[in-house]
Amino acid sequence: MRHAPYLAAADLDRRLGDPADEGRLFSYARCGALDDREEFPLEICRELDLLGLHRQYVPYVHGGELHSYEQVLQLMRAVARRDLTVAVAHGKTFLGAVSVWVGGDARQVGELAARVADGAVVSWGLTERDHGSDLLAGEVTARRDGGHYRLDGEKWLINNANRGQLICVLARTRDTEGPRGFSLLMVDKQRLERTVYRPLPQVRLHGIRGADISGVAFADARIPESALVGAEGEGSEIVLKSLQLTRTLCAALSLGAADHALALATGYALDRHAYGDRLVDLPQTRRLLAQSYADVLLAEATTLVAGRALHALTGELATVSAVTKYFVPTLVDGVIARLSTVLGARSLLVGDTYEHGRFQKLQRDHRIVGIFDGNTVVNLHALINHFPLLARQWRRGRVDEAGLKAATTLTADLPDFDRDRLSLLPRTGCSVVQALATGVRELSALAGRGELPAAVARRAEGVLAAAEGLAAELDGYRPKAVDVPASAFALAERYAWCFAASAAVHLWLRNRHTVAETAADAGHTAELWQDGRWLEAALARVLDHLGAARPDAGDDVLERLVPTLIAQYESGQLPSLLYHPMKESA
C-alpha cells in the first residue's frame, strides 16, 4: 500500500541522497564525525530548510505546508532514521512554535508563521535548573509594567536556546499558586538589548552531542504586551494542550531510531557467519530479530493511529498522547538493547571501525527521547490522574465511532486539525481502548467464517480477557494526590499496552483489503497483512507483556516474520507495515 505520508517521506529521502554515500551532506559518515566533534549539524539543517522541511511546521491555513500531522510524523521519522541529532535540532522549531498555533491570536499566528516559513529557529523555554518537569514550580517571572512585561530568571536545558531567534517562555505572572499563575510570552531575542539576556553555555551530553541544549537568563528584559500568547494566566493550559501534539510527534524520533537499528542488525546478521552458518540462520539470532521486528511493527501501528487521532480524536489526546509518549520510546529502548546483542561488540564501536559507529550513536541518542516533553513517569502519572474517568467510559463502552474509523482507516480523509477541540480532560475516555472488545469480536467472527486463522482470534481474545481484568482494577482505583503507589504505574503501563493492542486490531481490520488490492505495488509488505500475520505477532508480544496465558504457545508466530524482514531489507524497503523504499538501496 502506497500511503501518501510514506511517499512524501520517501521523496524527502530521495532528495537527500544515499546516506551511505560519504559525499552526501546528510550522510552517516558526516553525522558520525559531527558527533565525535560534538558539533551542531548546521549545514545539514540548512539543507533541510532548502528542501522546505521547515514549512511543514507551519499549518497550511497560515501559509505553510502542514496539512496533516500524520505526514509531519513520517517526515521526521525519515530524518531521525538518518540521525536523531539532526531531527532533534531541526524539529525543535515546531515545538517552539506550537503554543502559538494552539493558543495565539490571528496576528501572532500570522507573524510567527511568516517568520518560521522564512527560516527562523524557535525554541521552547519551559524547564528550569532546580525544577525539571515540575513546571508549576517555575521561578522565572514576568511582571506587568505598563504596556510591557519585565522578564527575569533563567530557563535551562532548552533545545536551541542559543541558536533560536525566538523563544516561547513560560513565566510566572501572578504570585498565586497553581496553574493560573503562569503565562506564555513569545520573546524575540533579536529585538532585545544584549544587556538584558545572557546565553548560558551549551551542556555536554552523552547522546545528541551536537544539539544545542543550553539555556538563557533574562535580567529585567522589557517584553512588549503583544508577546503574550493567549490570555494572562493561560500559559499552563496552553502548554499542556501543546504537549498533546508534541508528545505524539516524539514517536517519530523513536520509530526512526528503530528503523535504523533494525536495518543495521539485519544487515549484520545476513553478512556475518558463525559456527559454519550465517548469523541470521541461528535460532537465537532469528528470535531476537523477530521479537524486535514485531515490537517495531506494534510501535508503528500505535503511532499511525495516534498520529491520525490528532485530527480525528482530538478531544481524547490527553490520553492518546500520554500513552504514545510512554509506550513507543519505551518499547524502542527495548528493541535497541535487544539488537545490540545481535551486533555484539560492534554495537559499541565508534569512528570508522564499523559503520561509522552508527549503532552506539543511535543507542546513546535515543535515550533522550523518553525524557523530552515529559518523561516516562510524567506521562504515566497523567494516565493515573485520569483513571476514574477512563474506567467509567470504558465500563460504558462509549466510542466515537466516526473518529475511530478515521483514525484507523488509512485511506479515509482526515478532518482539519481543530485546536478548539483540545481538552485537558478526556471526557469521552479513550475510544481506541474502549473499542477493543468490538474489534476482538469482529476478529472472532472472521475466524468463525474461515476468513482468518483461528489462532489470531484466540490471541486477541486472550488480550481482551487481560484487558477486562485491568478495567475492573481501574474501576476500583482511588487516586492519591501524593505518594502514588508503584502499583498504579503498573496499571498505567498495562493500559498503554491495551491501547497498542486495540490500535493494531482496528488498523488491521480497516486496511487489510486495501493492502491486498495493492499487493503488486506493496511488494513484500503485503505478506505482513496476509492471514493477520503481523497482527498475530503483535498480539503475542502484548500477551507476553501482560503476563496472560498465550494460546498456541508452541506455535512460533514470530518466526514467520523473519523472511519478510529479510525480504524488505534486501529489496530496499523500510522494515514497516507500509511500503517505503529507502534511498540506500534505491
Query: Residue 490: what pLDDT?
Result: 96
Question: Who has greater pLDDT, 195 or 522?
Answer: 195
- Spatial distance between the Cα atoms of 338 and 544, rounded to a whole number of angstroms: 16
550 pLDDT tier (thresholds 50, 70, 90): low
Query: Residue 189: what pLDDT?
Result: 96
**Domain final position from 229, 257, 287:** 229
Tell me the per-residue pLDDT of 356-373, one tens digit each, with 9 for 90 and over.
Answer: 999 999 999 999 999 988
Residue 153 lies in a domain: yes
Query: Residue 582: what pLDDT?
Result: 76
11 plus 102 within the same structural domain? yes
Look up residue 529 and give its amino acid. Answer: W
Residue 517 predicted with pLDDT over 80: no
Query: Helix or strand or coil: residue 460?
Result: helix
- Spatial distance between the Cα atoms of 417 and 109, rounded to a whole number of angstroms: 15
Let me know: does 476 contact 386? Beta carbons within 8 Å: no
223 plus 254 within the same structural domain? no
Give 417's contacts (C-beta < 8 A, 6+ positions apart): 59, 68, 69, 310, 311, 314
Residue 236 lies in a domain: no
463 plus 558 within the same structural domain? yes
Q: Which residues pair with 125 in a beta bridge?
A: 169
Q: What average pLDDT does range 526-547 have in this prediction?
A: 94
Q: What average pLDDT does range 231-240 have in this prediction?
A: 97
Tell me the per-residue pLDDT of 286-342, one tens digit each, with 9 for 90 and over.
Answer: 999 999 999 999 999 999 999 999 999 999 999 999 999 999 999 999 999 999 999
**Domain final position from 168, 198, 229:** 229
Residue 234 lies in a domain: no
53 plus 173 within the same structural domain? no
Residue 323 lies in a domain: yes
CATH code for the domain in which residue 198 is found: 2.40.110.10
Residue 260 predicted with pLDDT over 80: yes
Residue 218 predicted with pLDDT over 50: yes
Residue 38 lies in a domain: yes
What is the distance, to the nearest Å, from the Cα of residue 379 to the centroid of all Cα atoms in its chain? Answer: 13
Cell numbers 481501574: residue: 474
Cell numbers 522494515: residue: 575
318 plus 216 within the same structural domain? no
Q: What average pLDDT does range 377-397 have in this prediction?
A: 95
Query: Helix or strand or coil: residue 344?
Result: helix
Query: Residue 584: what pLDDT?
Result: 56
**Nine-digit cell at 549?**
496465558
Instruction: Compute the half-sphere exposure of residue 579: CA atoms within 13 Å on the CB side of its CA.
Output: 17
β-pairing, 166-172 with 122-125? parallel
Q: What average pLDDT does range 176-205 have in this prediction?
A: 94
Residue 508 lies in a domain: yes
**Residue 158, H or E segment:** strand 148-159
What backbone torsions phi and psi does residue 194 show, to the nearest 5 degrees? -65, -15
Instruction: Compute the half-sphere exposure of residue 353: CA atoms within 13 Å on the CB side of its CA.
Output: 10
Residue 107 predicted with pLDDT over 70: yes
Let me know: does 56 contact 71? Beta carbons within 8 Å: yes
Residue 155 predicted with pLDDT over 90: yes
**Nine-digit cell at 548?**
496472560
Query: Residue 555: what pLDDT?
Result: 54
β-pairing, 213-224 with 228-229? unpaired
Cell numbers 505572572: residue: 173
Burial class (CB in 10 A: 0-12, 13-18, 19+), 278: middle
Residue 551 predicted with pLDDT over 60: no
- Number of domains composing the chain: 3
Look up residue 372 and give its amino acid. Answer: F
**Nine-digit cell at 426?**
478526556
CATH code for the domain in which residue 43 is found: 1.10.540.10
Burial class (CB in 10 A: 0-12, 13-18, 19+), 536: buried
Tell me the per-residue pLDDT of 457-488, one tens digit each, with 9 for 90 and over.
Answer: 999 999 999 999 999 999 888 877 778 999 99
432 plus 546 within the same structural domain? yes
Query: Residue 554: what pLDDT?
Result: 38
User: Which domain, by its residues, includes 57?
Assistant: 4-119
549 pLDDT tier (thresholds 50, 70, 90): low
Query: Residue 522: what pLDDT?
Result: 56
Tell me the per-residue pLDDT of 50-99, one tens digit each, with 9 for 90 and over.
Answer: 999 999 999 999 999 999 999 999 999 999 999 999 999 999 999 999 99
Compute the Cα dihedral for 62, 65, 71, 77 and give only its sign.
Answer: negative
- Spatial distance between the Cα atoms of 526 and 333, rounded to a whole number of angstroms: 27
CA 442 → CA 143, 446, 457, distances in Å?
58, 6, 9
- Spatial distance between the Cα atoms of 442 and 191, rounded to a whole number of angstroms: 60
Give 397's contacts (C-beta < 8 A, 6+ positions apart): 434, 437
Q: What average pLDDT does range 553-565 have in this prediction?
A: 83
Global pTM reads 0.96
What is the Cα gyration radius of the chain? 24
Query: Helix or strand or coil: residue 167?
Result: strand
Residue 191 lies in a domain: yes
Q: What average pLDDT does range 239-245 have in this prediction?
A: 98
Residue 283 lies in a domain: yes
Give 10's contacts (C-beta < 8 A, 6+ positions apart): 78, 580, 581, 582
CA 550 → CA 452, 546, 563, distances in Å?
18, 10, 23
372 plus 459 within the same structural domain? yes
525 plus 410 within the same structural domain? yes
- Spatial distance between the Cα atoms of 326 and 496, rounded to a whole number of angstroms: 8
Cell numbers 529521502: residue: 13
135 plus 114 within the same structural domain? no
The torsion angle over the Cα atoms of residues 432, 435, 440 and 441, rounded to 10 degrees, is -160
Q: What average pLDDT does range 516-543 have in this prediction?
A: 83
313 plus 449 within the same structural domain? yes
- Spatial distance between the Cα atoms of 234 and 137, rounded to a whole number of angstroms: 16
Residue 101 predicted with pLDDT over 50: yes
For 579-583, the CB contacts below 8 A with 24+ separation are: 579/1, 579/2, 579/3, 579/6, 579/521, 579/522, 579/523, 579/525, 580/6, 580/9, 580/10, 581/10, 581/13, 582/10, 582/13, 582/263, 583/13, 583/14, 583/16, 583/17, 583/18, 583/19
Residue 152 predicted with pLDDT over 80: yes
- DSSP label at residue 539: H
**Nine-digit cell at 180?**
493560573
- Spatial distance between the Cα atoms of 218 and 128, rounded to a whole number of angstroms: 13
29 plus 172 within the same structural domain? no
Burial class (CB in 10 A: 0-12, 13-18, 19+), 456: buried
Cell numbers 489462532: residue: 455
- DSSP label at residue 57: G
CATH code for the domain in which residue 273 is found: 1.20.140.10
Query: Residue 585: what pLDDT?
Result: 47
Residue 430 predicted with pLDDT over 50: yes
Tell me the per-residue pLDDT of 111-125, one tens digit each, with 9 for 90 and over.
Answer: 999 999 999 999 999
**Domain final position from 119, 137, 159:** 119
98 plus 130 within the same structural domain? no
Residues in the chain: 586
Q: What average pLDDT does range 569-583 have in this prediction?
A: 88
CA 236 → CA 99, 151, 316, 381, distances in Å?
10, 17, 18, 17
Query: Residue 586: what pLDDT?
Result: 41
